[in-house]
């Protein structure tokens, strides 16, 4: 065979191979680009396209003066793709460890996790390892190192600069970024904002290709909410609570301070308390807002209800004489044993019944009213029903309808027994007296502010319900002043130069189904100046550890005094008898 023939054969064979290869390539391309184009395109989109969630910044919670109660700060979760990190660049990685203040060996251990075994036993590549949570400034320093494969994801972290201050009102955000209680939960609609998102593409190394961003929706940050709370007032309350706990070591306590003319809550504290920044370190029961969730028999603070009602109905006047020495009284043909007083007071005026806190006097006034009117006025003052607290958690207390009363209820209810009340219900009943007989709902939200343009959302003004006439309320204000005197049960609540009106309460706790002689609720609720009230303060102490009975005048009235003395300069409350200006607290 000639050499020419061999060359032609080789040429044809090579040509056939090339043509066959080209045809196979065309066939494969046709199969991929035409037959399987739709499924492959979808798979590529899944791998290359990313829908990135852009978090919105949660709105701030502010006090009435613009002080921060709850804020949001951005945090960076620094992480790495171990498949992209070059572990041979030890000097660069050592600098990274130094910047983020992490031991070099710990960093190398995290970056060396390149494979994992999933639940099915399959070995897979690790594409993300969390390294450390850092702040924005530190992240800029990390970016300056230009370590390949190391990057951060931004998230927002909630913090509470006041720690325990007002924690039961403010609430908190848990680790799952869910609002749990208080303002955080109730006003989440305003605070949370609206998240944004970005549709983009990444390359084979999962780096974003900004040129291929298709759509982006900018997040809308949450609105700020301004509360009626005053941070200084709240700090005064918390300091007074610490002193109360130190002196009496109670099982629990609640303090409420508000403006009676508007219903605005200026501060509220409960013991035990918790820090929302580290809520997990405290027992769950510490989160209970006892001022609204716990009920107790209020004792003598409830006496303002039957006495106000009887004055309103014209049954009595302040000088009506009541025989408090009688042990038995007839009511609707039934002979009822009267509750006891601490001593036999004999025949005294209604004014003295208030001053001396006579149980028998209050019981007889309740009988004069009758069951129906006694019940209706108790309901009107807010007992046995919701107080309208705008946050979650409140209970309605217990006030049984008349048809479920037993033979003693008509004589025990006027003295503050046979009724279950929350500290807030007692507080609002006293506020009704201070507000000339008009009962207002407690108010905690002052306004909602858009941080972008400072516009404010309009809120409906609170509406009140008249419970008693202005004249009756003024009579009660006058008589309650005598309680806070040397003759009354609350002399320890006196404020020099100011007329203070209020009422003490002491009730036995029920232990194992029986009224205890050693466990008590002691309370005091009052307001000042009595002739033009600016502030109402209620203190309820559960089972104070003191020698003898824990009378409200002993365990609660001094706390009222401490708080009042600090509020006088801060709120610029002038003496009614002397209109000389007072120095206003720099706080």
Strands 438-439 and 465-466: antiparallel
Please check whether residue 348 lies inside any domain of the structure: yes
Q: Return the pLDDT at 210.
A: 46
155 prior amide bond cis, ω within 30: no
The pLDDT tens digits of the residues spanning 276-325 come to 999 999 999 999 999 999 999 999 999 999 999 999 999 999 999 999 99
Helix (H, G, I), strand (E, B) or coil at 429: helix
Render pLDDT for 485-535 as a digit per residue (tens, 0 to 9).
999 999 999 999 899 999 999 999 988 888 888 899 999 999 999 989 999
Say what the pLDDT of residue 353 is: 95
- DSSP E strands, 369-513: 438-439, 445-449, 456-457, 465-466, 501-511
- State both tokens at 458: 């309009």
Weakly modelled stretches of the chain, pLDDT under 70: 1-7, 37-53, 197-216, 457-461, 576-587
d(CA 587, CA 583): 12
3-state SS assignment for residue 157: strand
* Residue 400 to residues 293, 371, 403, 409, 478, Cα–Cα distance (Å): 18, 11, 8, 10, 31
Identify whether the C-beta of residue 68 lies closer than 8 Å to the C-beta of residue 60: yes
Q: Is residue 563 part of a domain?
A: yes
- Domain membership of residue 86 (yes or no) is no
Q: Residue 580: count other Cβ atoms within 10 Å of its Cβ.
A: 6
What the block records as the tokens of 123 is 């070995």
Residue 454 zone, left/alpha/beta (φ > 0; ψ -120 to 50; rest): left
Tokens of 341: 């007083």
**What is the structure's pLDDT at 135?**
83
Nearest 5°: phi and psi at 422?
-95, 160
Q: What is the per-residue pLDDT for 586?
A: 39
Residue 114 to residue 204: CA distance in whole angstroms: 17
CA 587 to CA 63: how far, in whole Å? 14
Which of 587, 464, 579 has the alpha carbon at shortest distance from 532? 579
Residue 173 lies in a domain: no
Domain carrying residue 525: 231-570
Angle at 539 between CA 536 and CA 543, to 5 degrees: 165
Residue showing tokens 């660049």: 89
> Does any domain span residue 170?
no
Residue with tokens 């004489």: 321
Please state, in angstroms and rounded to a whole number, the distance separating the CA atoms of residues 434 and 128: 63
CA angle, corner 163, sides to 162 and 164, nearest 5? 105
- Number of domains present in the structure of the chain: 1
Rounded CA Rg of the chain: 36
Q: What φ, ψ does residue 34 adopt, rounded to 5°?
A: -115, -60
Question: Strand pairing partners for 54?
Answer: 196
Q: Which residues contact 240 (CB under 8 A, 6 or more apart)?
A: 255, 559, 562, 563
List of E strands, 386-444: 438-439
What are 287's two structure tokens? 């989160």
**% of the chain residues with pLDDT over 70:** 89
The region that residue 488 occupies, defined by phi over 0 for left and psi between -120 and 50 for alpha, beta otherwise, is: beta
Report the distance separating Cα 539 and Cα 525, nearest Å.
Answer: 6
Strands 68-80 and 61-62: antiparallel
- The reply to whether the predicted model has a pTM over 0.95 is no
CATH number (domain holding residue 316): 3.40.710.10
The span from the CA of 423 to the CA of 521, in Å, is 11
- The reported pLDDT for the residue numbered 486 is 92
| CB-CB neighbours of 189 under 10 Å | 9
């Amino acid at each position: 065979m000639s050499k020419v023939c061999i060359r032609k054969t080789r040429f044809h064979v090579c040509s056939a191979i090339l043509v066959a290869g080209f045809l196979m390539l065309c066939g494969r391309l046709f199969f991929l680009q035409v037959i399987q184009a739709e499924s492959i395109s979808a798979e590529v989109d899944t791998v290359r396209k990313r829908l990135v969630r852009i978090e919105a910044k949660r709105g701030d919670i502010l006090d009435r003066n613009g002080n921060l109660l709850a804020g949001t700060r951005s945090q960076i979760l620094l992480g790495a793709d171990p498949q992209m990190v070059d572990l041979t660049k030890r000097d660069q990685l050592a600098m990274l460890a130094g910047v983020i203040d992490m031991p070099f060996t710990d960093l190398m251990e995290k970056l060396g996790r390149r494979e994992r075994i999933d639940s099915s036993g399959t070995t897979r590549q690790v594409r993300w390892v969390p390294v450390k949570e850092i702040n924005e400034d530190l992240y800029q320093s990390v970016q300056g190192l230009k370590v390949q494969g190391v990057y951060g994801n931004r998230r927002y972290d909630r913090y509470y600069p006041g720690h325990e201050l007002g924690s039961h009102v403010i609430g908190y955000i848990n680790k799952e970024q869910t609002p749990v209680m208080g303002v955080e939960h109730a006003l989440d609609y305003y605070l949370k904002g609206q998240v944004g998102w970005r549709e983009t593409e990444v390359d084979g190394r999962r780096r974003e290709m900004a040129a291929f961003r298709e759509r982006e929706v900018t997040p809308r940050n949450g609105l700020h909410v301004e509360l009626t709370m005053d941070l200084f007032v709240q700090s005064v309350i918390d300091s007074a609570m610490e002193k109360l706990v130190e002196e009496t070591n109670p099982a629990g306590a609640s303090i409420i301070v508000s403006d009676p003319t508007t219903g605005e809550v200026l501060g509220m504290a409960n013991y035990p308390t918790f820090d929302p920044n580290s809520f997990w370190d405290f027992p769950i029961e510490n989160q209970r807002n006892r001022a609204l969730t716990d009920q107790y028999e209020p004792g003598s603070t409830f006496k303002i209800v039957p006495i106000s009602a009887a004055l309103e109905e014209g049954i009595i006047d302040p000088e009506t004489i009541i025989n408090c020495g009688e042990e038995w009284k007839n009511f609707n043909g039934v002979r009822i044993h009267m509750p006891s007083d601490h001593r036999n007071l004999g025949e005294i005026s209604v004014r003295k019944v208030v001053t001396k806190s006579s149980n028998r006097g209050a019981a007889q006034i309740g009988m004069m009213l009758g069951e129906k009117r006694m019940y209706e006025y108790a309901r009107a003052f807010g007992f046995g029903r919701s107080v309208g607290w705008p946050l979650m958690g409140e209970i309605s207390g217990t006030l049984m309808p008349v048809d479920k009363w037993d033979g003693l209820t008509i004589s025990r209810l006027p003295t503050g027994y046979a009724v279950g009340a929350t500290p807030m219900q007692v507080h609002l009943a006293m506020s009704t007296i201070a507000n000339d007989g008009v009962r207002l709902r407690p108010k905690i939200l002052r306004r909602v502010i858009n941080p972008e343009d400072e516009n404010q959302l309009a809120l409906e003004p609170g509406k009140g319900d008249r419970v008693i006439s202005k004249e009756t309320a003024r009579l009660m204000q006058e008589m309650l002043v005598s309680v806070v005197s040397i003759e009354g049960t609350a002399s320890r609540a006196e404020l020099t130069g100011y007329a203070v009106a209020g009422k003490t309460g002491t009730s036995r706790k029920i232990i194992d189904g029986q009224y205890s002689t050693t466990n008590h609720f002691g309370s005091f609720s009052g307001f000042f100046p009595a002739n033009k009230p600016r502030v109402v303060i209620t203190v309820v102490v559960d089972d104070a550890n003191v020698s003898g009975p824990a009378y409200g005048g002993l365990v609660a009235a001094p706390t009222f005094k401490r708080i009042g003395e600090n509020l006088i300069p801060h709120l610029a409350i002038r003496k009614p008898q002397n209109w000389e200006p007072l120095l206003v607290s720099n706080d």
